[in-house]
Amino acid sequence: IHALREEDIDEKFFKALLHVQEIHSNCKVLLRTHHQRAGLELMDMMSVYQEGAYERLCRWVQVECKKPGDTDNPEVSELLKKAVRCLKERPVLFKYCAEEVANMRHHALFRQFISALTRGGPGGLPRPIEVHAHDPLRYVGDMLGWLHQALASERELIAALLDPDAISDSGPANHRHSVREGDSSKGESDFTFVLDRIFEGACRPFKVRVEQVLQSQPSLIVSYKLSNTLEFYGYTISELLGVDTALCNTIWSLRDATQRTFFNILKSRGEKLLRYPPLVAVDLSPPPAVREGVSLLLELISTYNSMMVSASGKGLNFDPVISAILDPIIQMCEQAAEAQKSKGALARRGRTSSEPIGSKRDSISVDAILSKKSSTSVLVSSIILFVYHVYRNVNPLDL
């Protein structure tokens, strides 16, 4: 009793607690005899000792959890692991401890993230992440890389602290807990709750900085690469942290914002092309706008083929990108062909009224060529076939 109430938390405390639990269990035997009153009194006494010991143990765990502070890789003592293992017998007290751990690491990770952004590592190495704010791809990639690395470290710490017997695999779905059957989902929920709370503080500074990048109006290619990067880390981090968590929701919302920026640029580009269509060349060669559009599409295809893919194997759907680039080009070609066809028809009627019938020559002019519907089909089909075969990694010159 003295070990449970007075002495420091050590092996003697746990031995005394185990002894009290054994006495409490043995009292059940007395209830089946003629000493029921003695058995009840003894059980009540042991229950009081047990509850007092668990509450004292809970306070001790909360104090011990505050000691690591801002340490990057805090160590978990065997005594603390044993204490947490005992507290699992009291879910309410265990929840208090889990919340204390979550709050402690929440503030620690926030300070570490801000320090990595503004001050860098010890002695200035690695350099502060914000040094590369002028380079959107590296800036956002470094922030996501830091968060991913921190997530791996925090997962290891929380697994060692809150579930010492757990065998951690690559993701929360594979995280197994040494709890009684039927309690595994509850243990997984506690684990996800703690990690979600820890990384909740880093969401706002990360979101603000990515939004500043988008407000700086990055180029079309940079916007697409940013979207790919956010997509990749969205899947990767969700496999470690869980889908419905603050950090994952932040990444997905930023991915959506980046995609909107990308497609808005494509939309404005297409609208400008249709509003100011280029003139049709005499030799029916593709106008500069078509060449630029196809070149842009080829660069996006190259980016798409070289982008990172998460372990789940999920990739972006590239069809909307092709449609957003080619549809305005095809529509522009059709409008230009129709306009040239009408112009050619008017010119032919003028020549018919002014020239003698016998002297009329069969000219092979651009007007005559474009007056045929097949001209539009040839021009548009050439563009589509060229892009399609490049997209399928086929050399169009071999056709």
pLDDT at res. 78: 87
Tell me the C-alpha distance between 149 and 132, whole Å. 19
- Using the predicted structure, report yes or no on whether residue 79 has a pLDDT greater than 50: yes
Under DSSP, the state recorded for 124 is: G
Under DSSP, the state recorded for 245 is: S
Contact assessment for residue 222 and residue 190, using Cβ atoms and an 8 Å cutoff: no
Q: At what angle do helices 36-66 and 11-30 cross, to 10 degrees?
A: 160
- When pLDDT is cut at 50, 70 and 90, the band that residue 150 belongs to is very high
- Using the predicted structure, report yes or no on whether residue 6 has a pLDDT greater than 80: no
Angle (nearest 5°) at CA 165 between 162 and 168: 85
- When pLDDT is cut at 50, 70 and 90, the band that residue 267 belongs to is very high
Instruction: Provide the whole-model pTM.
Output: 0.76
At 97-144, the pLDDT tens digits run 889 889 989 999 999 999 999 998 877 788 999 999 999 999 999 999
Tell me the C-alpha distance between 98 and 163, whole Å. 11
* Phi and psi based region of residue 123 (left: phi greater than 0; alpha: psi -120 to 50; beta: remaining): left
Average pLDDT score over residue span 68-86: 78
- Using the predicted structure, report yes or no on whether residue 167 has a pLDDT greater than 70: no
Neighbours of 252 (CB within 10 A): 16
Angle (nearest 5°) at CA 129 between 128 and 134: 115
Decide which of 1 and 60 is more confident.
Answer: 60
